[in-house]
Every structure is written in structure tokens, then in C-alpha cells.
Amino acid sequence: MSAADSDKPKKNAATTHDVERALRDRFGDDVISATKFRDQIAVTVQQAKPLAILEFLRNDEGYDTLVDLAGVDCADLDGREHDFELVYVLRSAERGHPTFRLHVAIVGRENPKVPSAAELWPSAAWPEREIAEMYGIGFKQHPDPRKLLLPDNFETHPMRREYPLAGEGEREKFPELGVPHAETE
């Protein structure tokens, strides 16, 4: 491939406008916003139909690879009206689309739940388990909802904003974590 060829847009490359229009046509008011920054598309949607939107992006728009999945606690963050976000980072190996970030806005801090994406992308199973533990966001129909990082009797969610920086006495409550604590004189 020559340098001139690398400057040409890739065939079937999605644009922010194309993907946003396709999502708005299909899901209407569930789409909150769409932006593009440095060839990366970000669309924020309401939590009503995340699995249907992910399936549409995979099957109709060609985003065939889940690169990453992360949770964000948005409480008191930039005036956002939702409490959490799930951020699905998608790529298209076949069509060469720009990186796509689907932000699913989740309202409610008490036992929030969304459908698992592990049926669409098996690689979603582990990050979903981590998010469930760290943020307390549950995933319906998850193939393996066991804890991944913390002891089974650990009941809080350490990545939430209300979790104290110094912890809640885990060193004393959970000696199986193997964290040595400082001797006091």
C-alpha cells in the first residue's frame, strides 16, 4: 500500500453521521448523543435496549469485535443525569470502521441491571463479572455470575464514588486477601 492509498477513506468506513442516523432511525429517543473525536465515534444511549443496540451494531453496522468493556460511576460527574455508564469499545475488522464507543447510561444506584452481552461476544463475560463486583451493576442472563476478584463474602463495591479511599476495614475483615497490615506501636 502506498502512502497515497493510506490517505484514502476505507471502503464502507462509517462516519459519525451515518452510525448516529442509523441508530436514531432504529432506536429513536433511546439515543442521547453522538460525537466524534480523533476518528473515534462515541454514542450515548439509554439503558432500555442495550443488547438490541449492540446486536444492531454487530450485525448491521459491522462492529464485529468487542475490544473492551468498562464501568464508570457518573454520580455528580459533569452534571450527568445518570448514575453509571457501561462503555463498550467496538471495532470492525472486516469493514475498517473507526473505533466505536457505546456508552449505556444507567439511572439508579440501587441494584442496577442490564442484559449480558456475553451471548454476542463471549469476551464480555469477564469484564461483566469485574463490573458487577466493583460497581454493583448486575448482568441478566450472565453465563457465570460468580465473583472474579473479591472474596464471596465481600459485599460492597469498591469502585463506587461513595466507597471510602481508605476502605472499610477489609484488612481486618478479610485476612484471606493476604494484605499485611502495619504494626502499630
> How many Å apart are CA 184 and CA 115, to the nearest integer?
47
Confidence class for position 14, pLDDT limits 50, 70, 90: low
Q: Where are the beta strands (DSSP E) in 99-174?
A: 99-106, 113-115, 138-140
> How many Å apart are CA 112 and CA 139, to the nearest integer?
9
> How many Å apart are CA 46 and CA 104, to the nearest integer?
6
- Tens digits of per-residue pLDDT, 114-173? 999 999 999 999 999 999 999 999 999 999 999 999 888 888 899 998 888 877 777 677
> How many Å apart are CA 176 and CA 149, to the nearest integer?
12
Name the residue among 146, 111, 106, 110 with its Cα closest to residue 128: 146
- Tens digits of per-residue pLDDT, 55-69? 999 999 999 999 999
pTM: 0.83
Confidence class for position 10, pLDDT limits 50, 70, 90: very low
